[in-house]
Structure formats: C-alpha cells, structure tokens
Amino acid sequence: MALNYRNVAEILKLIDASNLDTVEIDIDGMHLVVRRGAPATSGDAAEENPQDTNAEIELDAEHTTVGAAMTRSDGAIEVCAPMMGTFYRAPSPNDPVYAEVGQVIAAGDALCLIEVMKLFTTLKAEQAGKVIEIPAENGALVNQGDVLFVIEPA
C-alpha cells in the first residue's frame, strides 16, 4: 500500500488533533516525517511568513518521487507540481531562493516548497542540469501537473 495525497491529509488531521510534535511513518519503502512547530525566526518575519512557524512534511527522496518530471521533445525536463498547493521559491521571504534561471543544479538539490494545509513538501531535482525556465510565480497557487521548472539536463 502506497500513501496518496488523501491518506497523508487524513494522517495530518489526526496529528493536528493530537499533542504529538513529530511523527515518522514507514510504509512500503516510503518514509514520511511530519513535524509540528518548525523553529521560528526572530521578530515580525515569523509572524508574516507562515512557512517559519507551521508544521512541515519531508518526503525522503530515496523512496519517493516528489514531483513528476516529463521530457520535452527538445530534451528539456519539465518538473511538475506533485499536488495542488502554494508554490514557494525560498524557505522564507528573507532567505535566498532555492534555484534561479541559469543556475546549474545537482540531482537532489531542493528546487522549491509546495504548501498544502500549512504543511510543506520540498521538491527536489531528480537529475543534474541547468534551470532554463521557472513558469510558476512565487506565492501562487499551483495545480497538480503544472510546470514549475524547466531544466536542461547536464
């Protein structure tokens, strides 16, 4: 049995109703870590940016494909949103973005965050290459399958 979005949402509801701060689940080679109350930054920035203070999800990239990647006819790879949520290019407004157009990235590098129900999924590059396009707008709602990054393979 593999976890899908609906399963994860139900798990999150149960955890939200509990007093647990961290839960780890291993199912069929998938490792899910849910943490409540990520450390806040100092001052007003923590209040302005919910990314600093809410729970987060980490999906172990060794066991899970976080985002769908499709190869275009020109050889470029489109990295698509794995779920509907809010697209963030950086961990907080004061931090640098994970990836810029023109930047060379390695397999496993973080590309962005997708926030769903105040939980954050880090989307990682599946292979090395150069970012040639970022069609999604920071802070915008994206749908499952929307193209977030276009990468020219190394």
Residue 85 has which token pair?
A: 């949520």
Q: Would you state the pLDDT for residue 3?
A: 63
In tens, the pLDDT along 74-122 reads: 889 999 888 889 999 998 889 999 999 999 999 999 999 998 887 888 8
Architecture of domain 5-153: Beta Barrel (2.40)
In tens, the pLDDT along 14-50 reads: 777 777 777 777 766 666 777 766 444 434 433 344 4
Rama region for 31: left / alpha / beta (φ>0; ψ in -120 to 50; rest): beta
State the pTM of this model.
Answer: 0.58
Any idea how long the chain is?
Answer: 154
Rama region for 61: left / alpha / beta (φ>0; ψ in -120 to 50; rest): alpha
Q: Would you state the pLDDT for residue 34?
A: 72
What residue segments make up the domains of the chain, in order of their start? 5-153
Q: Would you state the pLDDT for residue 22?
A: 75
Residue 74 has which token pair?
A: 């020109």
